Chains A and B, each alone.
Chain A
């Protein structure tokens, strides 16, 4: 084939797929009839590539992940089985589209995050005004974004720095506008309980403030629980290092306690006691994030608030002597009815339910 004979117009139409199906068929046959034409058409399809270089296998899922981490969104999950997931409406629905799922090859596993559970139970709900007192915060943030997990649900929140927070039921997280900047500390304010999967950034400290104390970490993951019945603040570290201190003004008096993987710390509410112990299995504290409730010889009186919060119910005991009984059980993705039936069976009880109100009685 002489180069003068190259029909560029035809090649152009072929490469651009311009024409009726019959015309395209004819063009295909024409191009395939000559290997040189075929080669030309093929190179035209990738003509932008730098000469001498091959195709590049772009890591789109990884690029998307980086973009996504900077887009703040959250997903709400109901604790009861059978209820559909609801995605954060403020930032739009976030279901995973098929193409992303297909490419996902454990890229998420590469996230260099240390997990630490800070179980912070605090008198937050009863002493909300105290927590919000300006004197507790060094500099009052100008604007705060607030995300709340209601009773009966948990919320997964992806923050702009790449960190992820899972809020337990009946919890609230406040995020100042300064969080999204590229510099400066990352401060969060927690009521209730939350699991913090911190994206490693050695230049920026990450601090979770509750009414009682402040847990500070750099690239760690931890659970903070601060519910009323916690009577203080509890921190469980899954991996990494967490510095825990009281949120009082005299910081020099109380140096932070350093917690490591497997440590459970409890800051008591009123006094000065800080207990640190080792937990054998940190994952038991994390089970709630996957729809699992665990009780391990737990006092029944302490079980009730957990169940109430989890399902959005108000569970009471008709007889207070029931409160001291102990229960060990694991419930995964169970509805409230299933759990109540199971507990009634275990403890020889019966219950009466009136909407959200549940009362437990001795079975005669």
Chain B
């Protein structure tokens, strides 16, 4: 199960990197490409999913993740994540996604149109929606939509917490806010979801 892979590598409480993580970071700093590849293998899929949550475009999500790792390799000798490797990567991914969105916004403004061009077709493939059992329940689908209608910060807190299993501390690091702020956002998100779904007719 893909979710378990990243957990083995990451610290749940983000008090800092675990001993095994410290070793991995050191290896990457010294230019160990095998260690770097190991990190890629553990996180790339999740980071692609996370990037897609922001940019809603698969091709762009892949490119964001690709650039993320390239940049990391370039600065590897000074790489010093203050928290877990996971929080560093998600944070960098978010920055990359936001940069892209900003750029897109500027480009769209300059061109005076709002059509998004898929200039970089994704390398992967969308899986057949028919295989997804999660579509079975209308309640679940309503929850899905409700989450994506939350405000940006709350939506991201929910996504990072439920899909990517990050701790509050890690989420705080990724979003650049305090742990208290994360807890507040989350609490408010739950309250909103609860309200939205209570009016849902089964």
Closest A-B pairs by Cβ, 7 of them = A39-B137, A59-B123, A48-B53, A92-B32, A54-B129, A39-B140, A48-B159
Q: Is B114 an interface residue (CB 8 A)?
A: no
Q: Are B137 and A73 in contact (CB under 8 A)?
A: no
Q: Is A109 an interface residue (CB 8 A)?
A: no
Tell me whether chain B's interface is mostly helix, strand or loop, or mixed: helix
Residues of B within 8 A of A16 (CB): 161-162, 165
Q: How far is the CA of A46 from the CA of B50 in the complex (A)?
A: 10
Among B14-22, B64-72, B98-106, B177-185, the stretch that binds chain A is: B64-72
Q: Are B62 and A92 in contact (CB under 8 A)?
A: no
Q: Is A183 an interface residue (CB 8 A)?
A: no
Q: How far is the CA of A54 from the CA of B131 in the complex (A)?
A: 9
Q: Are A36 and B132 in contact (CB under 8 A)?
A: no
Candidates A39, A60, A66, A92; contact of B31 at CB < 8 Å: A92
Q: How far is the CB of A172 from chain B (nearest CB, A)?
A: 22
Q: How far is the CA of A46 from the CA of B133 in the complex (A)?
A: 12
Count B-side interface residues using an 8 Å CB cutoff.
66
Q: Are A47 and B137 in contact (CB under 8 A)?
A: no
Q: Is B198 an interface residue (CB 8 A)?
A: yes
Q: Is B151 an interface residue (CB 8 A)?
A: no
- Chain B residues numbered 13-68 whose CB sits less than 8 Å from any CB in chain A: 27, 30-38, 40-41, 44-45, 48-50, 52-53, 56, 58, 61-62, 65-66
Q: How far is the CB of B105 from chain A (nearest CB, A)?
A: 18
Q: How far is the CA of A6 from the CA of B195 in the complex (A)?
A: 11
Residues of A within 8 A of B193 (CB): 8
Q: Is A177 an interface residue (CB 8 A)?
A: no
B residues contacting A by CB (< 8 A) are 3, 7, 27, 30-38, 40-41, 44-45, 48-50, 52-53, 56, 58, 61-62, 65-66, 69-70, 73, 122-129, 131-134, 136-137, 139-141, 143-145, 147-148, 158-159, 161-165, 190, 193-194, 197-198, 200, 202
Residues of A within 8 A of B127 (CB): 54-57
Task: Flag A66-86 by CB within 8 Å of B: 1 or 0 each.
Answer: 111011010000000000000
Q: Are B122 and A56 in contact (CB under 8 A)?
A: yes
Q: Are B143 and A63 in contact (CB under 8 A)?
A: no
Q: How far is the CB of B144 from chain A (nearest CB, A)?
A: 5
Residues of B within 8 A of A99 (CB): 41
Most buried by B among A4, A43, A67: A43
Q: Are A48 and B62 in contact (CB under 8 A)?
A: no
Q: Is A42 an interface residue (CB 8 A)?
A: yes
Candidates A8, A49, A92; contact of B52 at CB < 8 Å: A49
List 20 A–B pairs whose Cβ atoms lie within 8 Å, in order of A's numbering.
A3-B198, A43-B134, A43-B141, A43-B144, A48-B53, A51-B141, A55-B127, A56-B61, A58-B48, A58-B58, A59-B123, A60-B40, A63-B65, A64-B37, A66-B66, A67-B70, A70-B70, A92-B31, A92-B32, A97-B38
Q: Is A317 an interface residue (CB 8 A)?
A: no
Q: Are A42 and B62 in contact (CB under 8 A)?
A: no
Q: Report the nearest B residue to A4, measured CB to CB.
A: B198
Residues of A within 8 A of B126 (CB): 53-57
Q: Are B41 and A47 in contact (CB under 8 A)?
A: no
Task: Flag A23-39 by CB within 8 Å of B: 1 or 0 each.
Answer: 00000000000011001
Q: How far is the CB of B7 from chain A (nearest CB, A)?
A: 8
Candidates A55, A62, A97, A100; contact of B123 at CB < 8 Å: A62
Candidates A3, A60, A63, A71; contact of B73 at CB < 8 Å: A71
Q: How far is the CB of A179 from chain B (nearest CB, A)?
A: 16
Q: Are A92 and B35 in contact (CB under 8 A)?
A: yes
Q: Is A44 an interface residue (CB 8 A)?
A: yes
Q: How far is the CA of A234 from the CA of B40 in the complex (A)?
A: 41
Q: How far is the CA of A43 from the CA of B144 in the complex (A)?
A: 7
Residues of B within 8 A of A73 (CB): 33
Q: How far is the CB of A361 from chain B (nearest CB, A)?
A: 48
Q: Is A363 an interface residue (CB 8 A)?
A: no
Q: Are A67 and B69 in contact (CB under 8 A)?
A: yes
Q: How far is the CA of A67 from the CA of B30 in the complex (A)?
A: 18
Q: Is A287 an interface residue (CB 8 A)?
A: no
Residues of B within 8 A of A91 (CB): 31, 33
Q: Are B200 and A94 in contact (CB under 8 A)?
A: no
Candidates B44, B45, B148, B158; contact of A51 at CB < 8 Å: B148
Q: How far is the CB of A137 from chain B (nearest CB, A)?
A: 28
- Assuming A44-B162, A59-B122, what are 10 further A-B pairs, CB within 8 angstroms? A12-B162, A43-B140, A43-B141, A47-B147, A60-B40, A63-B62, A68-B37, A71-B36, A92-B33, A100-B41
Q: How far is the CA of A29 from the CA of B46 in the complex (A)?
A: 27
Q: Is A90 an interface residue (CB 8 A)?
A: yes
Given A4-B198, A48-B163; A60-B44 close (CB under 8 Å)? yes
Given A39-B137, A40-B140; A48-B125 close (CB under 8 Å)? no
Q: Is A95 an interface residue (CB 8 A)?
A: yes
Residues of B within 8 A of A67 (CB): 40, 66, 69-70, 73
Q: Report the nearest B residue to A95, measured CB to CB.
A: B34
Residues of B within 8 A of A51 (CB): 141, 144-145, 148
Q: Report the nearest A residue to B131, measured CB to CB.
A: A54
Q: Are B129 and A39 in contact (CB under 8 A)?
A: no
